[in-house]
Structure 1
Amino acid sequence: MDTINLKVNGKNYSLRVGPETPLLYVLRNNLQLNGPKYGCGVERCGSCMVLIDGIAMPSCKRPCHSLADSSITTLEGISQGEQLDTIQEAFIKEQAAQCGYCLNGMIIASKALLQKNSNPTDEEIRIALQRVLCRCGSHNRIMRAIRRASLTVKASL
């Protein structure tokens, strides 16, 4: 076991874990952050997605030791206290979830997209979401939610 320092949702943590322990396990088991989900375990489904230095990345295989100098944001960290993030509010208003298993990845990927492009085209939205698998067919509502959030983001610039 090594001591690994991680910055998660703006807080610094010093954790005793194996250096090869995947970030997802530390987030869920050590920090009790349950936004990221275990899905496929091979970085293909997007359920475990987090923001690493603002970029949407899977966390299920990424070893903790490689993230000591990174800023990690989970689903729980994108809101401001009780105030939901614009993308979270848009997903609720558009009822952009069915089973909800992909929801973490969809919101994280959408947040990353809107941080770098406040006015994405439908094609850009689809490209941003291509790493997140959704089996229940909420895609139309998810697209509407991202478009709704982009209007709010653009208005605040």
Structure 2
Amino acid sequence: MIHRNAGITTTLAVLLHAGLLAGCERQPASTPPAATAPAPADADAATATSLAHEVVSTSGRYLVRYETDPAAIPLNDVFGLRARIFDAARTDTPLRSVTLTVDARMPAHRHGMNREPEITLEPDGTFLVSGMLMHMPGAWELHFDVTRGAVTERAQVDVTLR
């Protein structure tokens, strides 16, 4: 009887161990949003529209096209992004008369990043954002605050880090 119970115990232990290992598969660092940018018609349009993702601001005034570097946002490692801001009614030329602030928050935890990213505007209308770092796994919101004059409007994207 003792040997029979030991065999069952060993079998259960092996199955449990195999199940735990199967659940420990390496997952991608983040789940990026689906790309929705239209295909450009010519080379000049390609320059303006070539960024991988897009999101419209809350009142629909602005369209933000962006891509992160690396493409999958890493967990607890520095990353950057490139963004272009467009008038939502005219998406062929990036706006240069706006300012952009980028931040990321974890609403469930009521905190954001521990770093303030650096943002520069390139002559072609591309905003380069460096020094982003999402230090915890979970649900994040990526905020693009577009300001023209005294009015700021937000475009927001949900990001899940694993």
Give me the TM-score of the superposition, normalised by structure 1: 0.25
| Structure richer in strand, relative to its length | 2
| Structure richer in helix, relative to its length | 1
